[in-house]
Structure 1
Amino acid sequence: MSISPAFLDELRNRIPVSRIVGRKVTWDLRRSNQAKGDWWAPCPFHGEKTASFHVDDQKGFYYCFGCHAKGDALTFLRESEGLDFIEAVKVLAAEAGLPMPERDPAEAKRADRRSVLVEAMEAATRHYRMQLATSHGAEARDYLARRGLQQEGIDRFELGFAPDMRQGLFHALREKGLAEDVIVDAGLAAKPDDGGAAYDRFRGRIIFPIRDARGRVIAFGGRAMDPNARAKYLNSPETALFDKGRNLYNIAPARSAVSKGAPLIVAEGYMDVIALSLAGFEGAVAPLGTAITEDQLRLMWRISPEPVIMLDGDTAGQRAARRLIDLALPMTGPGQALRFAMLPTGQDPDDLIRASGRAAVQKVLDGARPLVDLLWEREVEGREFDSPERRAALDASLRKAIAQIQDEATRNHYAAALRERRYELFGGRRGAGRLTPGRREQRLADRAPRAQTRATPLGQQDTGDLTLEAMALAICANYPDLAHRVESQLELLAPADPGRAALCHDLLAGSDSMAGRAALARIMEDSYVRAAPMIRSSGDPDKALAVLRNILDKIEARRMGQSELSRAEAEIEGLVDEGLTWRMTESARARHRAEHPELDDTSDLGEDREALTARLASYYQFKPNKKKQ
């Protein structure tokens, strides 16, 4: 069975090598850089203890510096599991959720055809570059000079020029022996419907060659020299080589730059990318004449976990950013985030660089904002919230938006971030519709707990939290692979005890400190921790994970409740408004969810199940507050 290179490329783009390799190795988290897709582990192909096996998700390959094993995800499946090529492709296709291509004996012929089309595109690139250097390209050279583009930049990006001639390129390629149907199929010429002679698709335009991730010219972009042209920019049509929704301009150089530490910047057009790259921001790419697509987002995240979307600060730029929100939300999650950098109104990257220098662009990048900010602004901008119904409508629209997020941890963090913004909008104020908190509200929010508050159980360290905290750390220590499956919650645990904090850090970083070992020894002295079967010996990791998540949910819910009650006590002297009651309701709901988890069977927590269950429940009972007389 012949598998098309395009299908194999799609598999490699969808499945990081680390996901396949990670099932066979234990990563060295001290040496690995997860954010950049750079992973190290002991080699699974030869016995060793050092982490000499390197996986690079951005390049899609692995290499062992010990035994010199190397390859991609398909190679790893074949060598580690003894699969043949087709079997390995089927495994990877199932992982990616892609159906296997049907048997196609003509695929080899199509592959040969694509090779011929690539040759035609390379020949056209050389022709356009030569035309830019002739008298025909004088006006185009002047335009590029006015844009600050010198010969070095022209050569680096292989810019060319298509003279305003009906068949200039067509005749040049025919003289080189290329058939008419090849020239047309490559998108270089168009055939009239009446059957007349083919004519050049690009005329009177500066030409920008578009190369794919493998470095092949697959299309062109053309910028009209005539200000009255119907289209300022024109791209090649979609061909056997070119799918504009699944490629990015400058992808190969940008990927190389990002692997060396540069940020991935997504600009709007060709000249933006060129200006940024020549100014030192070499991780710049651009969509190809369309709004960013789902496939382009996946491609960006393949290169970098947090691309920066750089848009003009005008109304059109704002609209483009907000259109991207709903596209990105269902796909966002750990390792797949977006930030948005807005340029000053009326300036593109080239204008900003020439007016204020590289530092001005860096300042814009430093001020890039997360997706949640734009979501909030989209929902509240231009709206008044002076009635319960309007506030309820806001809540409904926010819930609908974040419900699109597939990753549970990310969805929970979005909900928390939006709750904070909602409190700033509504909390502690008599009026409605203002976007910033009043002075009195800010003063109350910043106030430290009062003496009488510190004397209550809410102001003191809770021994129940400490015991559950100890149980969570002990489970993670007994099942080392679980720590990174609850990484976000474990980071929020933030133990107050320095020893436990060190142990928490060790569990997340895969390190081993003296303070962490001492803290673990103290934790194991707790009879309830020591009595749990999952601590005494390794059992079912999935059951341990369920119990661990239940414990962490309880800790998080209780802390949120304590925080809100302390806040409420500070605010109760003033007007009890909707913001206060809403926050308290959300806190109670969170605690209710934690008190009634999906996991009903707690037998793995200890032999005396009833006693331990009662003790854990006692930690999380709310004592009813007496009404203020």
Structure 2
Amino acid sequence: MSISPAFLDELRNRVPISRIVGRKVTWDLHRSNQAKGDWWAPCPFHGEKTASFHVDDQKGFYYCFGCHAKGDALNFLREADGLDFVEAVKVLASEAGLPMPDRDPGEAKRADRRSVLADAMEAATRFYRMQLGTGQGAAAREYLAGRGLELDAVEKFELGFAPDLRQGLFNALRDKGVPPDVMDEAGLVIVPDDGGAPYDRFRGRIIFPIRDARGRAIAFGGRAMDPNARAKYLNSPETPLFDKGRNLYNAGPARAAVGRGAPLVVAEGYMDVIALSLAGFDGAVAPLGTAITEDQLRLMWRISPEPVIMLDGDEAGQRAARRLIDLAIPMTGPGQALRFATLPGGQDPDDLIRAHGAAAMQKVLAEARPLVDLLWEREIEGREFDSPERRAALDASLRKAIARIPDDATRNHYIAALKERRFELFGGRRGAGRLTPGPREAGASRGGNWRGKPEPARAQTRATPLGQQDTGDATLESMVLALCAVYPGLAGRVESRLELLAPADDGRAALCHDLLAGSDSVAGRAALARIMEDAYVRASPLIRKPDDAEKAAVVLANILDKIEARRAAMSELLRAEAEIQGLVDEGLTWRVSESARARHRAERPEIEDSSDLNEDRGALSARLASYFETRRKRDSG
């Protein structure tokens, strides 16, 4: 459906974003300025307790200084409620009292058809629930009771029963006026190819209704009562309502539970989800009879930034974990992480909870491990590394995996984590920590830690996300914060760039937050006091005599250019280290040299293409070639 930008702008202008967000958060009224439309609250997306989620009615945007979620009212409806774009527009239009623009006739027809199918699914849900209470459902009730499901649990999850009749549901829905073609399209019946009478898809099965994030019944899962049935579990086929690779069982209730602070736990099946929920783990979901897909991962991350994947301890569970590693790595990054909790061998969640209680399950969840652990274990499992060639093969496979991580900072942290694991595996042997060149090869002194164990970041290097900047960068960062503090309004002119500064030091991060939000915190004041003691900052005429705001703005922009160029150059070098597998090639040299050119321009903006820059590029290429050739020889030796 095509919706004009003018209509969307009118919606945004008519409906304050705080009205939409306010239904999901509790405002911090001490910090918020209601008169100015400036609102603060704990973030609804990552379950925090402090008010770092900022909503600005004047700009119509929200931003979280913790998880960096941001967007307008439409983004919020899509992320918080799981709506698609058109659905979010409809909600906003209803709030604004505006009629939706005319729809494309074809889309209108498809939407009306989906509505008819949804009505049929609700009618089927009621039929199955009623059948569970009949004499035919006695065995199903007995089975559920044996699994610990009392009446309240059956009602909560709307469990039902499909009687073992060829046309039980078909006749019931037909009597209510539901056409056979609607039943067929909804996946409720099967129409024989020979033109015979339709018959029920689910027969002799306990029924689990599957609802989307909006609460609509879109499909069913059925567990066979007959132990000799060809399929223990049977799901609805894909229909205009149901795409099994894009939905999760219990997604709606789990989203609400995660919003209250529960972890998002991804279990294997329906009964696992129900067992977890009854034990107090309400943020449980399950894929729908298939391995986890990319779309399901994205849906999980819209609910929680760090879902816990619950794995069976058997071989099948480990195989599923290995498949998920390759799927998740190219998608991982800030706000999109995974942890893995492994159940004791041979047990499912219900077994563990029944035998040892909810505390045992809580312990399993608390011991969940990050994705990098599973990647490492997969690469070393069953292998010996008693020769340079075998160790080089390990390095190559790890580089290949982490090179697929799109986010630079995340990829760099993977490199550091894998270096530590490599050092632990190979002990004190020379080159033990080497995924990228060791400190000696990279130009460290001979008295340094040349055996390859990663050196801890020096105190002055912790001022940036990469943890690799020199003291010059720390001083530049101090100057940025000092200028923004001394000159009111300057932070607002570089708001987007200041957000990306992201100091790693807690005090400076608090000060950066205060400058952007116009707030005043104890930690921020303390950090500013320390910054003002910096000799470089005290010596600046712009700080000693703050009377030239325009000049300060120019200097601030230049300092930010320098910081960004240096970080880009460092990021490119670290990326090159992750990707390089042999001799440096021309493309890699060009990329790194272009990064150096950008840094050179930021450091000396008056120079464009001078000969000394060309000499720097040539020297850099030579150093790179020597650097990686030395490393290749050492790794192979």
Matched, 1:201 2:212: no
Q: Matched residues in 2 for 1:595 and 1:109: separation?
A: 54
The Cα shift of 1:465 comes to: 4.4
| Alpha carbons 1:470, 1:529 under 8 Å: kept | no
Alignment of 1:31-50 (within 5 A): 32=43, 35-36=46-47, 39-44=53-58
Amino acid at match of 2:216: R
Q: Matched residues in 1 for 2:266 and 2:567: separation?
A: 38
Alignment of 1:278-293 (within 5 A): 278-293=278-293
| Alpha carbons 2:117, 2:185 under 8 Å: kept | yes
| Alpha carbons 1:474, 1:529 under 8 Å: kept | no
Amino acid at match of 2:476: M
1:519 to 524, 530, 545: 530
Matched, 1:380 2:387: no
| Residue in 1 that maps onto 2:564 | 549
| Residue in 1 that maps onto 2:351 | 351
Alignment of 1:441-480 (within 5 A): 465-476=470-481, 478=484, 479=494
| Alpha carbons 1:534, 1:544 under 8 Å: kept | no
Matched, 1:371 2:382: no
| Alpha carbons 2:163, 2:203 under 8 Å: kept | yes
Three-state SS of the structure 2 residue aligned to 1:208 is: strand
Alignment of 1:353-432 (within 5 A): 353-429=353-429
| Alpha carbons 2:572, 2:595 under 8 Å: kept | no
| Residue in 2 that maps onto 1:497 | none
Q: 1:115 to 1:132 in 2, by over 3 A?
A: same
Three-state SS of the structure 2 residue aligned to 1:375 is: helix
Q: Matched residues in 1 for 2:41 and 2:203: separation?
A: 56
Matched, 1:142 2:155: no
The Cα shift of 1:553 comes to: 7.3
| Alpha carbons 2:565, 2:602 under 8 Å: kept | no
Structure 1 residue runs of 5 or longer lacking an equivalent are 9-16, 64-70, 88-102, 433-448, 451-457, 495-500, 559-581, 614-620, 622-629
1:482 to 487, 497, 500: 497
The Cα shift of 1:172 comes to: 0.9
Normalising by structure 2, what TM-score?
0.69
| Residue in 2 that maps onto 1:124 | 124
1:138-188 deviation digits (Å, cap 9, x = unpaired):
111111111111011001101001111111111111111111111111111
| Residue in 1 that maps onto 2:491 | none
| Alpha carbons 2:38, 2:57 under 8 Å: kept | no
1:468-518 deviation digits (Å, cap 9, x = unpaired):
31212322554454343243xx31xx4xxxxxx633432256554332232
Q: Matched residues in 2 for 1:266 and 1:348: separation?
A: 13
Alignment of 1:4-403 (within 5 A): 32=43, 35-36=46-47, 39-44=53-58, 59-60=77-78, 74=89, 105-403=105-403
| Residue in 1 that maps onto 2:25 | none
Q: Matched residues in 1 for 2:210 and 2:354: separation?
A: 25
The Cα shift of 1:548 comes to: 1.3
Amino acid at match of 1:520: I
Three-state SS of the structure 1 residue aligned to 2:533 is: helix
Size of the alignment, in residue pairs? 509
Q: 1:547 to 1:45 in 2, by over 3 A?
A: closer
Q: 1:603 to 1:133 in 2, by over 3 A?
A: closer
| Alpha carbons 2:460, 2:474 under 8 Å: kept | no
The Cα shift of 1:109 comes to: 1.7
1:8-37 deviation digits (Å, cap 9, x = unpaired):
9xxxxxxxx99xx9xxx9997885566349
1:100-155 deviation digits (Å, cap 9, x = unpaired):
xxx95222122111111111111111111111111101111111111111011001
Normalising by structure 1, what TM-score?
0.70
Amino acid at match of 2:312: D
Identity of aligned residues (%): 59
Amino acid at match of 1:522: E
The Cα shift of 1:60 comes to: 3.7
The Cα shift of 1:407 comes to: 1.1
Three-state SS of the structure 2 residue aligned to 1:35 is: coil
1:548-606 deviation digits (Å, cap 9, x = unpaired):
13445789999xxxxxxxxxxxxxxxxxxxxxxx9xx9xxx9xx979973524445678
Three-state SS of the structure 2 residue aligned to 1:341 is: strand
1:344-373 deviation digits (Å, cap 9, x = unpaired):
111111111111101011001100111111
Amino acid at match of 2:56: P
Q: Matched residues in 2 for 1:75 and 1:117: separation?
A: 20
Q: 1:467 to 1:179 in 2, by over 3 A?
A: closer
Deviates more, 1:540-549 or 1:464-473: 540-549
Three-state SS of the structure 2 residue aligned to 1:382 is: coil
| Alpha carbons 2:312, 2:346 under 8 Å: kept | yes
| Residue in 2 that maps onto 1:574 | none
Q: Matched residues in 1 for 2:301 and 2:593: separation?
A: 33
| Alpha carbons 1:191, 1:197 under 8 Å: kept | yes
Q: Matched residues in 1 for 2:226 and 2:206: separation?
A: 11
Alignment of 1:585-624 (within 5 A): 597-602=596-601
Amino acid at match of 1:228: N
| Alpha carbons 1:36, 1:305 under 8 Å: kept | no
1:301-342 deviation digits (Å, cap 9, x = unpaired):
111111111111111111111101111111111111111111
Q: Matched residues in 2 for 1:386 and 1:170: separation?
A: 66
Amino acid at match of 1:364: V
Q: 1:170 to 1:76 in 2, by over 3 A?
A: closer
Q: Matched residues in 1 for 2:37 and 2:539: separation?
A: 30
| Alpha carbons 1:174, 1:180 under 8 Å: kept | yes
Q: 1:461 to 1:259 in 2, by over 3 A?
A: closer
Three-state SS of the structure 2 residue aligned to 1:106 is: helix
The Cα shift of 1:389 comes to: 1.0
Q: 1:86 to 1:601 in 2, by over 3 A?
A: farther
Three-state SS of the structure 2 residue aligned to 1:310 is: strand
The Cα shift of 1:409 comes to: 1.2
| Alpha carbons 2:74, 2:92 under 8 Å: kept | no
Q: Matched residues in 1 for 2:153 and 2:511: separation?
A: 48
| Alpha carbons 1:340, 1:369 under 8 Å: kept | yes
Alignment of 1:557-596 (within 5 A): none
The Cα shift of 1:74 comes to: 4.9
The Cα shift of 1:427 comes to: 4.0
